[in-house]
Structure 1
Amino acid sequence: MCSHRRRIAGILSVIVLIIASISLYSRHLTTIALTEELHALREEKPLNIIDLDSAINFGARTGIETRTSWNAPIMWESMFDGSLYDQMHKEANTAVALTVFAVGRYLEAYLNKFLTSAEEHFMVGLKVTFFVFTDSPEKVPEISFAPQRNLKVVKVEKYNRWQDISMMRMKTISEIIDTVLKHNFTYVFCFDVDQIFTARFGSEALGESVALLHAHYYKLPKYRFTYDRNPKSKACMTEGDYYYHAAIFGGTCEKVKALADYCYLNIMEDKMNDVEALWHDESHLNKYFWLNKPTKLLSPEYCWDRSLPNNDILIERLIWAPKDYEKLRTR
């Protein structure tokens, strides 16, 4: 009898994973104002990625790590010439998509400040489209954008639990890359909405596969990293390189889709086994980057928590917005 039940459970797990995989390619997104403009853009293929990392001055900063063991740069202020990156990306006609989720109370609390500060500091001078995923499109604020910079609003389902909202964004990111972004954009960056741009967040951050060092962990020994240690979870890690923050990740459309697909499928398998990773999609993201090393790391200057001592931080490019989780999060 036990063997029979295990066999049935195994079959059900396979069926659910197959359904999850099919749904990734269902290409069903509800958009606001159907996008003839985006369909027209499909004829333009993204240009080759720009690699200026050989010009980085790795010795410009002392006392902090500026390069990984696999020779990926860790971007800190003073290590690069931002104008050189900007010039090359403008000449290459680089187009960047930024995705952000503003669901439930997060929209009214954070979205306006996120978008206005992003317009001021994010990839200034490049073609940028801000994709806002929300359950309340009518509440998205009207923002004035510079030429070749615009906003697209995509309606998404609101889940009952904030944990599910956080985890299921990976499915949505994968779908929009497959249906729209890969045809129109060279790079895609994915952000949490409860953040504020305060200084240049420029083209030096672009790369094939980009991860962010978590501000709270970048100076801690590895044994204090909060990886998921539950062997029942697909996110379980017994070792790793760094602790990455899921508030920002990016890269080429191909690489970001691979990350999103990996996280979504493993989240779904965990759900089938009645398991939830310790830090939800962030735990799965850390596992992905352990197995698939990022080609560029962003220092905590690119996402800083002002409650921390900032001895290493020469410039705060993005900061954590004040959090009030008791009011903002659904249970």
Structure 2
Amino acid sequence: MIISVLKPKAMCGQSCFNIFMCFFFFYFMMTNSRYEIYFSNERKRIETTNEEVRKLINIDVTLNYAARPDVRTKTPWDAPIIWEGMFDKHIYDQMHIHLKTNVAVTVFAVGGYLNVYLKTFLTSAEKYFMVGLPVTYFIFSDLPDQIPYIELGPQREIKIIKVERHSRWQDVSMMRMQTISTLIDSEIRHNFRYIFCLDVDQEFKGRFGSEALGESVAMFHAQFYRAPKSRYNYEKNPKSKAFMKTGDFYYHAAVFGGTWENVKNLTDTCFENIVADKVNNVEAVWHDESHLNKYFYLHKPTKLLSPEYCWNEKFPGKDIRIARLVWSPKYHTSLRT
């Protein structure tokens, strides 16, 4: 097994030695216990922070790219694309448990979306999303009194935040970027390492675990991942800040995430560009998704999730061995009116 090591920038000799010994012990235990990660009392004696360990160990080097020769497993800039069969879930889970990783989830349940989708989203998330890790669901709703009761597992909680309902559903979609950014400033940056931003009209049906965590995480759009670029829904209006002549892939705004720093930069940039478009009386055809695609073209994500992580079960799926998160039936006409 290979573990990627990065040199700390400026540390005293004793500190470097301590971290090296910590890493060496961790590596020894992993390679001699069939990847079961644990630390002895000697490990506790070595003073190092979780963040230092995180920087020393790049767990994605354990990915087995050859396990999926039928699909693309790396981007041109060498970021992994996560598919079933490529990762050992026990390695990822034990590492993040040791690092005391916690995850914030943002979800908007506004208007009719609350009653139609939220309960299914939350109950299925409790079965499959980041199981074993502390998770806090931040639910934005204009009807906070109607949030259903959900029995949560250990170290899981729900926080409800009241938001105003916009007259146009397009504004609900686009303004979430500002709302998420504000939440990151007020709470997430102080209490969480990672954040995922998810659409509510989805249902978890398989493991959506710690292998999905990364610095900057984008999601392949299930409708376009095998389509030619000429069919991608990039913004074609050159007056829009989201305008793109070409790109790398087409990303789905229903799932994105990463460290709070990266998600903060993404949401701030998208919101600034949305506002600039409004000033110029322009609106991207696919709203915040158009701006998200422009952002990820200019700021390459460090990890991509395969369509397993947001799949439409109506599509033919010869590549899909497991549908982890699936699209729920859409009732756009009635819910968006």
Indicate whether the TM-score tops 0.5. yes
Which position in structure 2 is the counterpart of 1:76? 83
Contact preservation (8 Å) 1:118, 1:197: yes
Q: Which of residues 159, 162, 165 in structure 2 aligns to 1:155?
A: 162
1:88 maps to 2:95: yes
- 1:53 and 1:281 map into 2 onto residues whose CA distance is 29
Q: Which residue of 1 aligns with 2:31?
A: none
Residues 1:164 and 2:171 are matched in the alignment: yes
Residue 214 (1) aligns with residue 221 (2):
yes
**How far did 1:115 drift?**
0.4
How big is the shift at 1:83? 1.0
Provide, for residues 108-156 of structure 1, a one-character-per-residue CA deviation record: whole Å limited to 9, x for no partner.
Answer: 0000000000011000000100000000000000111111111000001
Q: Secondary structure of the equivalent of 1:59?
A: helix
Work out whether 1:186 is the aligned partner of 2:203: no
Rounded Cα–Cα distance in structure 2 between residues aligned with 1:261 and 1:64: 33
- The structure 1 residue matched to 2:237, chosen from 217, 225, 230, is 230
Aligned counterparts of 1:237 and 1:163: Cα–Cα separation in 2: 20
Equivalent-residue separation in structure 1 for 2:154 and 2:330 (angstroms): 33
Match of 2:108 in 1: 101
**Counterpart Cα distance in 2 of 1:211 and 1:232:** 25
Contact (CA 8 Å) 1:102, 1:132: kept in 2 or not? yes
Partners in 2 of 1:322 and 1:100 — Cα distance?
17
In the alignment, structure 1 residue 173 sits paired with structure 2 residue 180: yes
SS at match of 2:181: helix
**In structure 2, which of residues 45, 63, 74 is the aligned counterpart of residue 67 of structure 1?**
74
Whether the aligned pair in 1 keeps the contact of 2:50 and 2:99 (CA below 8 Å) is: no
Distance 1:105 1:313 in 2: 31
Q: CA deviation at 1:64?
A: 1.1
The one of 305, 311, 314 aligned to 2:318? 311
Q: State the shift of 1:211 in Å.
A: 0.1
SS in 1 for 2:95: helix
Query: Alignment partner of 2:84: what SS?
Result: coil
Q: Residue 288 of structure 1: CA displacement?
A: 0.1
Match of 1:146 in 2: 153
Q: Given residue 262 of structure 2, which amino acid in structure 1 is its aligned partner?
A: K
- Structure 1 CA distance for aligned equivalents of residues 127 and 161 of structure 2: 22
Count how many residue pairs are aligned between Structure 1 and Structure 2.
286
Q: Which amino acid aligns with 2:121?
A: F
CA distance in structure 1 between the partners assigned to 2:132 and 2:163 by the alignment: 30
**Is the Cα–Cα contact under 8 Å of residues 139 and 161 in structure 2 kept in the other structure?**
yes
Cα drift, residue 46 of structure 1 = 8.0
Q: Note the C-alpha offset of 1:278.
A: 1.2
Give 1:223 shift: 1.1
Q: Partners of 2:173 and 2:50 in 1: how far apart?
A: 29
Name 2:203's counterpart in structure 1: 196
Report deviation, 1:63. 2.3
Structure 1 residue 47, shift from structure 2 partner = 4.2
Q: Distance in 1 between matches of 2:303 and 2:333?
A: 35
* Structure 2: tracts of 5 or more residues without a match: 1-48
Q: Which residue of 260, 265, 271 maps to 1:258?
A: 265
**Amino acid of the structure 2 residue aligned with 1:120:** K
In 2, Cα distance between equivalents of 1:260 and 1:167: 10
TM-score, reference length from structure 1: 0.85
TM-score, structure 2 as length reference: 0.84
Give the partner amino acid of 1:100. V
* Cα contact 1:99–1:132 (8 A) shared by 2: yes
CA–CA distance in structure 1, aligned partners of residues 268 and 261 of structure 2: 11
Contact 1:47 1:186 in 2 (8 A): no
Cα displacement (A) at 1:51: 2.9
Shift of 1:246: 0.1
Question: Shift of the alpha carbon at 1:293?
Answer: 0.1
Amino acid in structure 2 at the alignment position of 1:320: W
Which amino acid is the alignment partner of residue 160 of structure 2?
V
Unaligned runs of 5+ in 1: 1-44
CA gap of 1:46–1:178, structure 2 versus 1, over 3 A, is farther
Deviation at 1:68, TM superposition (A): 0.3
Question: CA–CA distance in 2 between the matches of 1:57 and 1:90?
Answer: 22
